[in-house]
Structure 1
Amino acid sequence: MEYPLVSVIIPVYNMEAFLAEAIDSVLASTYPNFEIVIIDDGSTDQSPVIAETYSAKDQRIRFYRQPNRGVSAARNLGLEEARGEFVLPVDADDKISKYYLEAAAKVLIQQPQVKIVTCEYECFGEKQGKGKYRPYHRKLLARKNVINNCSMFRRADALKVGGYSEEIIGREDWELWISVLKNGGEVVHLPEIGFYYRIRSNSKRISDRKLKKHIIDVLNRRHKAFFYRELGGKLHYQRSLSQLFNFFIHLYKPETFFVSPNFKEEEEFFYSLPDIFDKQGETIHSGRNTIKIFDVENEKWVVKSFQLPNVVNRFVYGIFRKSKARRSYEYALKLLSLGISTPHPIGYYEQKIFFLFDKSFYVSVMSECNHRFEELIRDVNFPDREKILKAVARFTAELHEKGVLHSDYSAGNILFSYTNDDINIELIDLNRLKFGKISKVAGCRNFERLNLEPGALKIMAEEYAVARGFDKQECVELVLQYRWKKHKTINS
Structure 2
Amino acid sequence: MNPLVSIIIPNYNHARFLKQRLESVFGQTYQNFEVILLDDTSTDDSRSVLERYAAHPKTSHVVFNGKNSGSPFAQWEKGLGLAKGDYIWIAESDDFCEVDFLEKLVPLFFKEENVALVYCRSNNVDENGNFFDIFYPDNFDNQKWKTSYFNNGNDELKNFVRYTNTVPNASACLFRKQDFDFSEMKKMFFAGDWLFWAKVLSTGNVYFCSEVLNHFRFHDKTTRSNRSTNRYKEYLLVLSFIYKTIGEKLSYERKHFWIYYEMQRQSVSLLFLFRHVRPFFYAYSYFRYKLLKHQIRTKLLSKR
C-alpha spacing 1:56/1:164, structure 2 compared with 1 (3 Å): farther
Q: Describe the SS at the equivalent of 2:167.
A: coil
Aligned runs of 1:162-181 on 2, under 5 Å? 162=182, 165-181=185-201
Aligned runs of 1:198-237 on 2, under 5 Å? 198-207=217-226, 211-220=230-239, 222-223=241-242, 225-226=244-245, 229=248, 232=251, 235=255, 236-237=258-259
C-alpha spacing 1:201/1:210, structure 2 compared with 1 (3 Å): farther
So what's the TM-score if we normalise by structure 2? 0.70
| In the alignment, structure 1 residue 144 sits paired with structure 2 residue 164 | yes
Contact 1:72 1:164 in 2 (8 A): no
Residue 484 of structure 1 corresponds to none
Q: Deviations over 1:432-480 (max 9, x none)?
A: xxxxxxxxxxxxxxxxxxxxxxxxxxxxxxxxxxxxxxxxxxxxxxxxx
Residue 75 of structure 2 corresponds to 74
Using the alignment, how far apart are the partners of 1:84 and 1:188 within structure 2?
Answer: 19
So what's the TM-score if we normalise by structure 1? 0.45
C-alpha spacing 1:199/1:162, structure 2 compared with 1 (3 Å): closer
C-alpha spacing 1:191/1:59, structure 2 compared with 1 (3 Å): closer
Query: Residue 90 of structure 1 aligns to which amino acid in structure 2?
Result: A
Query: Residue 124 of structure 1 aligns to which amino acid in structure 2?
Result: V
Residue 154 of structure 1 corresponds to 176
Contact 2:240 2:250 in 1 (8 A): no
Q: Describe the SS at the equivalent of 1:188.
A: strand
Contact 2:5 2:33 in 1 (8 A): yes
Aligned runs of 1:25-40 on 2, under 5 Å? 25-40=24-39
C-alpha spacing 1:109/1:163, structure 2 compared with 1 (3 Å): farther
Residue 282 of structure 2 corresponds to none
C-alpha spacing 1:146/1:209, structure 2 compared with 1 (3 Å): farther
1:41 Cα deviation after fit: 1.2
Q: Describe the SS at the equivalent of 2:13.
A: coil
Contact 1:7 1:86 in 2 (8 A): yes
Higher-RCO chain (CA-CA 8 Å, sequence separation at least 6): 2
Using the alignment, how far apart are the partners of 2:25 and 2:184 within structure 1?
Answer: 22
1:206 Cα deviation after fit: 1.4
Query: Residue 198 of structure 1 aligns to which amino acid in structure 2?
Result: R
The correspondence for 2:132, drawn from 126, 129, 132, is 129
**Structure 2: segments with no counterpart, 5+ residues:** 145-150, 263-284, 293-304
Q: Deviations over 1:242-275 (max 9, x none)?
A: 9x66x99xxxxxxxxxxxxxxxxxxxxxxxxxxx
Contact 1:163 1:176 in 2 (8 A): no
Instruction: Return the structure number with greater strand share.
Output: 1
RMSD across aligned C-alpha pairs, in angstroms? 3.0
Aligned runs of 1:383-462 on 2, under 5 Å? none
1:162 Cα deviation after fit: 4.8
Query: Residue 68 of structure 2 aligns to which amino acid in structure 1?
Result: N
C-alpha spacing 1:28/1:162, structure 2 compared with 1 (3 Å): same
Give the share of equivalent positions with the same residue, in percent.
23
Contact 1:86 1:155 in 2 (8 A): yes
Using the alignment, how far apart are the partners of 1:83 and 1:39 within structure 2?
Answer: 15
Using the alignment, how far apart are the partners of 2:216 and 2:64 within structure 1?
Answer: 24
Contact 1:6 1:34 in 2 (8 A): yes
Residue 382 of structure 1 corresponds to none
1:227 Cα deviation after fit: 7.5
Query: Residue 18 of structure 2 aligns to which amino acid in structure 1?
Result: L
Contact 2:120 2:214 in 1 (8 A): yes
1:55 Cα deviation after fit: 1.3
Query: Residue 43 of structure 2 aligns to which amino acid in structure 1?
Result: T
Q: Describe the SS at the equivalent of 1:56.
A: coil
| In the alignment, structure 1 residue 119 sits paired with structure 2 residue 120 | yes
Using the alignment, how far apart are the partners of 1:98 and 1:230 within structure 2?
Answer: 44
Query: Residue 131 of structure 1 aligns to which amino acid in structure 2?
Result: I
**Structure 1: segments with no counterpart, 5+ residues:** 249-492
Contact 2:243 2:250 in 1 (8 A): no
C-alpha spacing 1:20/1:230, structure 2 compared with 1 (3 Å): farther
Q: How many matched pairs? A: 242
Aligned runs of 1:289-308 on 2, under 5 Å? none
1:219 Cα deviation after fit: 2.4
Using the alignment, how far apart are the partners of 1:121 and 1:36 within structure 2?
Answer: 22
Residue 18 of structure 2 corresponds to 19
Using the alignment, how far apart are the partners of 1:110 and 1:224 within structure 2?
Answer: 29
Q: Describe the SS at the equivalent of 1:237.
A: helix
| In the alignment, structure 1 residue 9 sits paired with structure 2 residue 8 | yes
C-alpha spacing 1:59/1:107, structure 2 compared with 1 (3 Å): closer
1:61 Cα deviation after fit: 4.6
Query: Residue 21 of structure 2 aligns to which amino acid in structure 1?
Result: A
1:114 Cα deviation after fit: 1.7
1:208 Cα deviation after fit: 5.8
1:193 Cα deviation after fit: 0.9
1:104 Cα deviation after fit: 1.4
Q: Which moved more, 1:61-70 or 1:214-223?
A: 214-223
Using the alignment, how far apart are the partners of 1:54 and 1:179 within structure 2?
Answer: 33
Using the alignment, how far apart are the partners of 2:184 and 2:81 within structure 1?
Answer: 12
Residue 269 of structure 2 corresponds to none
Q: Deviations over 1:138-164 (max 9, x none)?
A: 2321121101322110012xx145588
1:176 Cα deviation after fit: 0.5
Q: Describe the SS at the equivalent of 2:16.
A: coil
